[in-house]
Amino acid sequence: MKSKKILFINQEITPYVSDSELSHIGRELPQSILEKGYEIRTFMPKWGNINERRGQLHEVIRLSRMMIIFDDTDHPLIIKVASIPSTRIQVYFIDNDDYFTKRLMANDENGEEYEDNGERSIFFARGVLETIKKLHWTPDIIHCQGWIGNIVPYYVKTAYKDEPSFANTKIITSLFGNGLKKDIEKTFGQCLEFKDAHSDILKNYNEKFDFTEFEKLAIDYSDGVIEAGPGVNQQLVEYTKSKGIPFMSQAAATELDVDAYDNFYDSILE
């Protein structure tokens, strides 16, 4: 029987960034799912606080140097890779000097959120999807964990819907208790435009496009949603249920329930 393929799109993975709920799940879930017999790929941004030498990251030349074009600007895509010590997990890092290498995660050195986090998420989403195409790998499920992957469901169901790599792919979005505080920048819509992905979609959301609306955009184009821990905005939980989207809650779990994730993946694929 052919093994199922899961693409994990993670915002954070320990040990590359500080330990947190998100980075812990980003590290443990892919490993546990791999041990269940799945075939996996794992991606995250190459945040500026990642120590490349300590993490033994190196550039993958054959995948790098593509230009991601939006808002009439060329943005070079750099792909790096590393293996998590003592595991069989290889992590692909999406990099770009302006969006990642020269900057930290959501917040700068003074704790202020970057004004273009929405734009950064667009670059990241397109970088991941273009790299998967180059790898000639066809995921059965894409599992997005963290705000940086919020654009992926929309792009897979619009701009990339006719790509063989994603034609039958299901999308799962995990919701977490932390997120962005500032509204998404007003230039987000024009940067979003790509093939069949259009800024008109934003008319379906509040004009004040804050983090809650950003999460709703991810939910609307997902085939399943997971409440991945405590502190999730219950408005988003109720929104998911009102849409009839398959839902799983792990809010009360004290440790990673791999069997629950495994069963949820099966239910989505069925």
Residue 86 has what pLDDT?
81
DSSP 87: S
- Nearest one of 155, 93, 92 to 122, comparing CA atoms: 155
State residue 227's pLDDT score: 97
- Show the tokens assigned to 15: 């040990």
Rounded CA separation 247/226 (Å): 6
User: How many domains does the chain contain in total?
Assistant: 1
Note down the domain range covering 190.
Answer: 5-269
- pLDDT given for residue 2 in this prediction: 64
Give me the CATH number covering residue 240. 3.40.50.2000
Q: What is the pLDDT of residue 252?
A: 86
The tens place of each residue's pLDDT in the chain, 270 residues long, gives 468 999 999 999 999 999 899 999 999 999 999 999 999 999 999 999 999 999 999 999 999 889 999 888 999 999 999 999 888 899 999 999 999 999 999 999 999 999 999 999 999 999 999 999 999 999 999 999 999 999 999 999 999 999 999 989 999 999 999 889 999 999 999 999 999 999 999 999 999 999 999 999 999 999 999 999 899 999 999 999 999 999 999 988 889 999 999 999 999 998
Residue pair 77/67 in contact by the 8 Å Cβ criterion:
yes
The CA dihedral of 250, 252, 256, 258, to the nearest 10 degrees, is -50
